[in-house]
Structure 1
Amino acid sequence: MKLLYLVIFATLLSCNSNGKSRLDSRKEHEVTSMSMEIFDSLDSLQNVFSNQNIKFEAIDIDILKSEWHLVLMDSIENAILFAQDTDSLFKIINADQFEYLQFKKDSLAKRIVSDSKSLLNNFIYEKDDFQEVAFFYHKRWGKRWPRRKTITATAIDNGQYLLASNYFNEDWLFHTSVSMIIGDEKYNSPIVPRYHKDNRTEVVSGGVWEVVVYRNDQFLKKIAESQNEEIKLRFNGDQYYSDQNLNKGDLNALKDVYSLILLLKENKNLVDSLVSK
């Protein structure tokens, strides 16, 4: 497109409607060079407006380009003045735009820090210096397993997580997997056999615990992206199963864990700076 502009300019420079003599080579070079600059400026303005979805009603880029053609046909002197005026206009607008974008950037950065602090306030942070890894335990469950049938998750500072089906009851089920229904969609976790290190059991006063850990299963993403659908859980045992709806508190906690995982993947340095304070 720029090449087409230059061809047009060269033609216009050779003669005008009154048959005036060709401009000398110095002025021709001057206006050709300025033509490139002015259209670079106008095209840049268009991109800025388009990319940022900002409208300056007092400025119409297409009209400016049309006016440039008309002024160029009139005289080289007027063309140079027009180019200088438009270049000044571009510099003013570009400075304002830069200031506006910088303001948006600073505001967004402050909001990200504020939101990150609020999110991290929901977690217990614990670093294992021997394993060089840190865990984020949601305060909804703490560091212990809850005394109910539910799903829990623990975030790891490397952006991974541990999802667990937590079964607490008076008698054993010996479950090895969990199924989930969200709306009309059904999902099945991997099967973790009994006596595997990720299938844990414990007898306590008042009942028994069964906790099966699934490493980075897609369940958490599905849960976090759910809207207002009811989430049904089925704990699958050796011979029997047990059903339970996921309660709202646990659902919100799982969504917090997923949000933290995304934050750790996108901006771990920010998280490290906040937890170190």
Structure 2
Amino acid sequence: MSAIARHGVSLSGPEDGQPMMFAHGFGCDQSMWRYVAPAFADRYRVITFDHVGSGGSDVSAYDPDKYSTNAGYAADVVEIVRELDLHDVVFVGHSVSSMIGALAVIEAPERFDRLVMVSPSPRYIDDGDYTGGFSPEDIDELLESLSSNFLGWSAAMAPVIVGNPDRPALGEELTASFCRMDPDIARRFATTTFLSDNRADLPMVGVPTLVLQCSRDAIAPAAVGRYVADTIPGATLVQLDATGHCPNLSAPEETITAIEGFLRQRVAP
């Protein structure tokens, strides 16, 4: 099966437009970009897709060994880009897909033009002077809870992740998205996500990068966004007024405005 079919790739916008690829985070699918991606389809060739094991992807292609690290997902991104013969790609990744995008840029720098990281975290666990937001015990408890009661974990965690308690529909949507995943794949993807450490990869990102940091993000605190922006050479940090971990759902207009501003910036030759 082609990478395009395996990942349920969707294409919109002018065929000759600069490619702009949107990648979803853990427990989500490409529909999570439905408020943001269309804003760019008048000028860009917009590509959305589902990671294997999510959304409309081919679940039979899931390989526990391959997807035990973010590098496996990054290899898929590069495969899609090459199969579509894309160049000068603007990659927009949410949450764990921010790191997946960074790894894809490192693997195939000739294919990418810019990187947008929405609510990124290279490591979720605190380590010495590094603040990831969670202790090892926190992550162990999170993964154990997910393994023992996936539906209960989804119902409890999704509202925390998305934030905005005054807008319960957002938490309900994320809960439903989580619950559509195969529980075993969800457990493995969560393990890959929350035990990853991509800090050493950040200095190797060689394209202009935008880091979008949300306010009061329970998953990626402000210190994480600053760390990412400080570690990627020349990266730009934008602090959003949006709260929670999913501004693509909770604050799409602010997210679009920030990305638009970044794309308008001139890049030094």
Shared fold by TM > 0.5?
Answer: no
Q: TM-score, normalised by structure 1?
A: 0.23
- Greater Rg by CA: 1
Where relative contact order (Cα < 8 A, 6+ residues apart) is larger, the structure is 2
Higher strand proportion: 1
